[in-house]
Amino acid sequence: MSLFNKRSQEKSRQNRQRQFGQLGARGLSKLSYSESNRLTRTDVSDQGRGRNYLHQIETINENDVSQFRRWTVLSGLVIVFLAIMASQSIASRAIVIIVQPPGFNYLPHSIIQYQKSTAAAIDSSIFNRFKPTISSADIASALIQKYPEIAYAAVTVPLFGFTPTVHIQLAKPALIYTGGNGRSYLVNNNGIIITDSKSVQPAELKGLPQINSTSSVLLKNMQVLAPQSVIFIETVAQAFSAEKIQISKMDLVPMAEELDVYPAGVPYYVKFNLHQTDALSQVGTYLAAVATLKQQNIIPSQYIDVRLDGRAYYK
């Protein structure tokens, strides 16, 4: 082989190596670019999915937090409402304070009985179980209607606390009433029996008019006299006392609306008309008749009748 041929072959081989190297470089370059591009797209896609996932987690967390806050606020409001309602509620068992009338010390019913009646009045309406809606007047009225010995009742509720207080003013007895059964009772201004006279000290009964009647007494809270009759009897007793005339006894004649008053130290009694409301006028007629009879030295043996207006009859 000639030297020329060897050189030609060597040059061809070098050219092929050069071309292959360039192709390899370009291939590697293309490969590197393609692989890099693929990896870059993959990374971007993965990062997008990651951000979406984190966004979903954050959204879920925000919803949970918002819902938790709503429930917390609602629970707080419920607790506050219940606390306010509890602070405004009232217990049915009350504190009872008894105020006695001047000169008397009696208790027809026990404190426990008054407490039970107060509790029943409170429980009669749901509105009475709360401070803003309680009807103190209705509760007091219920006690007065049930217990005639109560002249006045007042119900107060505390600003702080749950137990109401009931102040009960007992009535001053107006007179002593002795019925057909021989038992004596204390009667109030309305003519209603409030208690047995044995529940009061004898010293406290002094000065009270005492009325005798043939009528039977069935109940302690029974009305035995009309209110105007009580006033009439009290007026007659006070008028006789003012004239220094002692009364030995007073009898009722129910069917005749008659009051028979027996002055002490004389053999007669005085007939008064309970139907007439002007007791002082009848007392005046009696005093005038006594003065006239005294001038004539006449002493009636049975009675002086002043039941007719301005007129007196004696026997």
Least confident among 165-169, 217-221, 272-276, 291-295? 217-221
pLDDT higher than threshold 90 for residue 139? yes
Average pLDDT across the chain, whole number = 81
Provide the CA 29 distance to its chain's centre, in angstroms.
98
Q: Give the pLDDT of residue 27.
A: 45
Q: Give the pLDDT of residue 267.
A: 96
**Pairing of β 150-156 and β 95-99:** unpaired
In terms of pLDDT, which residue wins out, 310 or 35?
310
300/290 Cα distance (integer angstroms) = 9
Q: Can you count the helices (H) and strands (E) in the chain?
A: 5, 12
Share of the chain above pLDDT 90, in %: 50
Q: Give the pLDDT of residue 17.
A: 52
Q: Give the pLDDT of residue 16.
A: 55
Residue 76: pLDDT band with limits 50, 70, 90: low
Q: Give the pLDDT of residue 146.
A: 93
How many other C-beta atoms can be found within 10 angstroms of the C-beta atom of residue 269? 21
Q: Give the pLDDT of residue 199.
A: 85
Residue-range domains of the chain with CATH = 95-170 (3.10.20), 175-314 (no CATH)
* Residue of 239, 242, 247, 284 whose CA lies nearest to 263: 247
Which tens digits make up the pLDDT trace of 52-73?
555 555 555 566 667 766 667 6
Give Cα separations from 89 to 105, 134, 180, 266, 308 (angstroms). 35, 10, 50, 67, 62
Q: Give the pLDDT of residue 90.
A: 83
- Find the mean pLDDT for residues 281-301: 95
Q: Give the pLDDT of residue 277.
A: 74
Residue 81 zone, left/alpha/beta (φ > 0; ψ -120 to 50; rest): alpha
pLDDT higher than threshold 50 for residue 191? yes
